[in-house]
Amino acid sequence: MGNHSMTKFDLLIETHQGLKRQGPGSPEMTLRALSFISHLDEHSRIADLGCGTGGQTMLLAQNTAGFITGVDLIPDFIDVFQDQVKELHLENRVTGMVGSAEDLPFEKDELDLIWSEGMIDGIGFEKGLTYWSRFLKKGGYVALTCPAWLTDEYPPAVKKFWEDAGSSLDAIGNHISIMQKIGYRLVAAFTLPDVCWTENYFLPRAEAEKNLLKKYAGNPIVSDYVKEDQYETDLYAKYHQSYGYVFYIGKKVS
Ligand SMILES: C[S@@+](CC[C@H](N)C(=O)[O-])C[C@H]1O[C@@H](n2cnc3c(N)ncnc32)[C@H](O)[C@@H]1O
């Protein structure tokens, strides 16, 4: 790739492709969320929307029976996903596909579980969940993380950052009301601990970006990109009491 044609989206892919996860999370929290979901068996159909390179998908596969389809917009992430499927010998029940979570290939009432970590806010919590629900059987579950306000203080710098990124934060109570309105019974909601952001995401990302700065030394697009990510890291360090990711687990009852 020529230095001049490089975009920030290219840099995002290059930085994140080699990371275990492409957003805040941890194996412990994925398994904790899964512990609230009991009905899965070898016939179950599971979708992991915005699966990235599949960090949480592979863990789900190792801890459930049934078939899992990971969906992500970015082909380079799905390439890494498919490599992991092969390495772990999961070809007979795990598939990654390039696609949009706003245009899914599933049948109505096909799925037993919809998983999604770190993605629904880009679509909008209500819009995304309303659309996804048609694919879920009655009695099926959703488990998703979404950024939310954790206190009633909404620092303007945080609000602006997320809005500029094409997302937004909402109060936990509003997220839960939306789930209930769409037809879910709330099974559990818990906040991801700081370590999911810091050690598990910001730290490996910063390491990857050190290499990027070396590789593209002197390129202003790269230094600007890294600065923006550093700003996000600093913002979280300053305001992490006010916002974070919340895992919501719901059962479709109507
Ligand atoms: C914050 S990352 C989270 C990745 C992974 N779930 C994790 O927790 O490590 C969000 C992912 O969602 C994908 N994504 C964003 N919008 C999407 C959409 N409309 N449809 C499918 N994937 C999407 C991105 O490409 C990215 O891989």
**Has residue 5 been placed in a domain?**
no
* CA of 102, closest atom in ligand 1: 19
In the reported structure, the alpha carbon of residue 236 is separated from the centroid of ligand 1 by a whole-number distance in angstroms of 20
**Has residue 209 been placed in a domain?**
no
Total domains in the fold of the chain: 1
Structure confidence at residue 5 (pLDDT) = 77
DSSP sequence for the chain = --GGG--HHHHHHHHHTTSS-SSS--HHHHHHHHTT-----TT-EEEEET-TT-HHHHHHHHH--SEEEEEES-HHHHHHHHHHHHHTT-TTTEEEEE--TTS--PPTT-EEEEEEES-HHHH-HHHHHHHHHTTEEEEEEEEEEEEEESSS---HHHHHHHHHTT---EEHHHHHHHHHHHTEEEEEEEEPPHHHHIIIIIHHHHHHHHHHHHHTTT-HHHHHHHHHHHHHHHHHHHHTTTEEEEEEEEEE--
CA distance 116 to 73: 13
73 — pLDDT class (breaks 50, 70, 90): very high
Angle subtended at Cα 114 by Cα 147 and Cα 108, rounded to the nearest 5 degrees? 130
Structure confidence at residue 230 (pLDDT) = 98
**Has residue 211 been placed in a domain?**
no
**Has residue 75 been placed in a domain?**
yes
39 — pLDDT class (breaks 50, 70, 90): confident
* Ligand 1 pocket, CB under 6 A: 21-23, 25, 50-52, 55-56, 71-74, 77, 100-102, 117-119, 122-123
Read off the pLDDT of each residue in 208-233 and give the average, rounded to a whole number: 96
**Has residue 172 been placed in a domain?**
yes
Read off the pLDDT of each residue in 69-88 and give the average, rounded to a whole number: 98
Judge whether residue 183 has pLDDT over 90.
yes
Structure confidence at residue 3 (pLDDT) = 54
Read off the pLDDT of each residue in 139-166 and give the average, rounded to a whole number: 97
Q: Is the pTM of this model over 0.95?
A: yes
**Has residue 50 been placed in a domain?**
yes
Judge whether residue 2 has pLDDT over 80.
no
Structure confidence at residue 38 (pLDDT) = 85
Residue 117: domain span: 21-158+166-194+241-252
In the reported structure, the alpha carbon of residue 238 is separated from the centroid of ligand 1 by a whole-number distance in angstroms of 25
Read off the pLDDT of each residue in 137-156 and give the average, rounded to a whole number: 97
**Has residue 38 been placed in a domain?**
yes
Judge whether residue 111 has pLDDT over 60.
yes
**Has residue 220 been placed in a domain?**
no
Q: What is the CATH number of the domain that holds 128?
A: 3.40.50.150
Structure confidence at residue 4 (pLDDT) = 58
- Single-letter residue type at 63: N
* CA of 101, closest atom in ligand 1: 20
